């Protein structure tokens, strides 16, 4: 951990390499503390489970996007420029408080219930099987993120929303650039603008030629002007697409890494596939895809864990830290697939609790069952110490996950 003074934690490369070590110290020494993001934004970090859960449910911690812009400007302490966010992409539910949040979430809520999502299982299994077939027919060493963990959720969310096949590769580049903190600011602003333009065109296309997909249904709803504005329609598409694929890829990646590092756990799960739903909850707790929840800001002074955070401050709730708080989960650094991991904050908590959780759980279930059944000899192709993590204050995910499907170690 690097500290710029006694109380400010730097969210830097050392932090991204091992956030769990930093969090373990913070939970005992300074559970609610100041931190500095890589682009020089001054924030408050909340690291204990009880404080994190309370903060996520506290209406005084606002998600209002318009007010956030002003707060962000006040808290940027370096000269580095922030990425200019395309206005069309901002008005989504994760940037809103009630009543806008309630209206936006209700519009798609029914499509994402456990029951509605369960109908997708056969198609998700088919996609997973096709990807596994392709892997089995290819080289013995692959990047599991590229060959399986990314294309599975990407294909599912694109099919659900009605994004044409040909456009999916460009989308990956844009979102990667957007969620990284190490890319050039201008490049990220350009990626954002390109994505906004693409989605504006896609929405226009759905309006002109509606299909059976969810985006066409959202566009149809937007025609009632009181329900969804044009910007809200595009922002909804943006949120669902980005949230729908940048997260589940790392549930599969981080979960597979955890298993490959613990062959005993891997063997136990392979012997009892019905344990998979429980294992997925443990992967979400142990090393979930969302490290820090999205920005919240205080609308008045708020006491969190005995510390008074003044009004107009940005608060980052450390979900990964809450999920390893020994006060909530005994022996938290142990991967225990039998444990009762329910209550983890991997999907957030409160009003903004992940809308796509039923879909993510289903994709995770299918992914692990498929990979374990099809590749019984799968092993890490590199020393775990050689693996690198993405530089993002939101996403916890590997840059690559090289595996050998035949179980052979690469010669040194
Ligand atoms: C394992 C995969 C996933 C994880 C770990 C995850 C995690 C999260 C978290 C932590 C939040 C709350 C963020 C906050 O409060 O700051 C959230 C919100 C959200 N997620 Fe997910 N997510 C996943 C998959 C998905 C999928 C597949 C979708 C599908 C479209 C999705 C759609 C959303 C949406 C729309 C919200 C905003 C909800 C609101 O503001 O009311 N997520 N997710």
Q: What percent of the chain has pLDDT over 70?
A: 92
Q: Is there an atom of ligand 1 within 6 Å of 280 CB? A: no
306-338 pLDDT, tens digit each? 999 999 999 999 999 999 999 999 999 999 999
Instruction: Return the best residue to mutate from 65, 236, 243, 245 for the ligand 1 pocket (most ligand atoms within 8 A of CB).
Output: 243
Cα 108 to middle of ligand 1, angstroms: 13
Cα 34 to middle of ligand 1, angstroms: 25
Residue appearing with tokens 């333009």: 197
Non-local CB neighbours of 183 within 8 Å, separated by 6+ positions: 177
Mean pLDDT over residues 245-268, rounded?
Answer: 96
Q: How confident is the model at residue 236 (pLDDT cuts 50, 70, 90)?
A: very high
Is the pLDDT at 207 greater than 50? The verdict is yes
Q: How confident is the model at residue 3 (pLDDT cuts 50, 70, 90)?
A: very low
What pTM, to 2 d.p., does this model score? 0.94
Round to whole Å and give the CA distance between 248 and 357. 10
Across 53-62, 78-87, 294-303, least confident range: 78-87
Round to whole Å and give the CA distance between 77 and 74. 8
Cβ neighbourhood burial of 13 (10 Å; 0-12, 13-18, 19+): middle
15-36 pLDDT, tens digit each? 999 999 999 999 999 999 999 9
Cβ neighbourhood burial of 100 (10 Å; 0-12, 13-18, 19+): middle
Average pLDDT value over all residues in the chain: 90
Is the pLDDT at 412 greater than 50? The verdict is no
Q: How confident is the model at residue 2 (pLDDT cuts 50, 70, 90)?
A: very low
What does the pLDDT read at residue 83? 53
Q: What is the CATH number of domain 8-404?
A: 1.10.630.10
Round to whole Å and give the CA distance between 351 and 101. 9
Both structure tokens of 65: 């996007």
Is the pLDDT at 383 greater than 70? The verdict is yes
| Closest residue CA from atom 38 of ligand 1 | 352
Q: Is there an atom of ligand 1 within 6 Å of 23 CB? A: no
Ligand 1 atom nearest the C-alpha of 349 is 15
Ligand 1 atom nearest the C-alpha of 104 is 41
Cα 96 to middle of ligand 1, angstroms: 14
Residue appearing with tokens 């506290």: 58
273-317 pLDDT, tens digit each? 999 999 999 999 999 999 999 999 999 999 999 999 999 999 999
Cα 362 to middle of ligand 1, angstroms: 14
Round to whole Å and give the CA distance between 320 and 48. 10
Alpha-carbon torsion 32, 35, 41, 42, what sign?
Answer: positive
Cα 236 to middle of ligand 1, angstroms: 13
Q: Is 290 helix (H, G, I), strand (E, B) or coil?
A: strand
Q: Is there an atom of ligand 1 within 6 Å of 251 CB? A: yes
Across 46-55, 164-173, 296-305, 327-336, least confident range: 164-173
Instruction: Return the best residue to mutate from 100, 247, 294, 349 for the ligand 1 pocket (most ligand atoms within 8 A of CB).
Output: 247
ipTM metric: 0.99
Round to whole Å and give the CA distance between 151 and 169. 10
């Amino acid at each position: 951990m690097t500290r710029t003074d006694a109380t400010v934690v730097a969210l830097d490369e050392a932090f991204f390499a091992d956030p769990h070590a930093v969090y373990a110290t913070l939970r005992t020494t300074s559970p609610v503390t100041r931190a500095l993001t890589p682009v020089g934004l001054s924030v408050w970090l909340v690291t204990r489970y009880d404080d994190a859960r309370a903060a996520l449910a506290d209406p005084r911690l606002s998600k209002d996007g318009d007010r956030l812009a002003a707060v962000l400007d006040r808290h940027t302490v370096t000269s580095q420029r922030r990425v200019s966010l395309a206005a069309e992409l901002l008005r989504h539910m994760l940037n809103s408080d009630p009543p806008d949040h309630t209206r936006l979430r209700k519009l798609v809520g029914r499509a994402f219930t456990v029951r509605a999502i369960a109908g997708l299982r056969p198609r998700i299994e088919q996609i997973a099987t096709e990807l596994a077939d392709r892997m089995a027919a290819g080289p013995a060493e692959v990047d599991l993120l590229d060959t399986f963990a990314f294309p599975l959720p990407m294909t599912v969310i694109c099919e659900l929303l009605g994004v044409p096949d040909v456009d999916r590769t460009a989308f990956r580049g844009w979102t990667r650039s957007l969620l990284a903190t190490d890319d050039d600011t201008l490049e990220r602003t350009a990626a954002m603008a390109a994505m906004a333009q693409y989605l504006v065109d896609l929405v226009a296309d759905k309006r002109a030629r509606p299909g059976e997909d969810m985006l066409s249904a959202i566009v149809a709803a937007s025609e009632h002007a009181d329900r969804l504005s044009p910007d809200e329609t595009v922002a909804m598409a943006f949120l669902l697409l980005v949230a729908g694929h940048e997260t589940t890829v790392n549930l599969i990646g981080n979960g597979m890494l955890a298993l490959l590092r613990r062959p005993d756990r891997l063997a136990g799960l392979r012997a009892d596939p019905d344990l998979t739903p429980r294992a997925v909850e443990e992967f979400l707790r142990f090393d979930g895809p969302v490290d820090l929840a999205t920005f919240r800001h205080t609308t008045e002074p708020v006491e969190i864990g005995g510390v008074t955070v003044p009004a107009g401050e940005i608060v980052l709730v450390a979900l990964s830290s809450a999920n390893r708080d020994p006060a909530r989960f005994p022996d938290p650094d142990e991967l225990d697939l039998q444990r009762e991991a329910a209550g983890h904050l991997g999907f957030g908590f409160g009003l903004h609790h992940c809308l796509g959780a039923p879909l993510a759980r289903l994709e995770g279930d299918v992914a692990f069952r498929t990979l374990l059944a099809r590749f019984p000899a799968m092993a890490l192709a590199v020393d775990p110490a050689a693996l690198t993590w993405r530089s993002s204050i939101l996403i916890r995910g590997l840059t690559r996950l090289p595996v050998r499907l035949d179980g052979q170690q690469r010669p040194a």
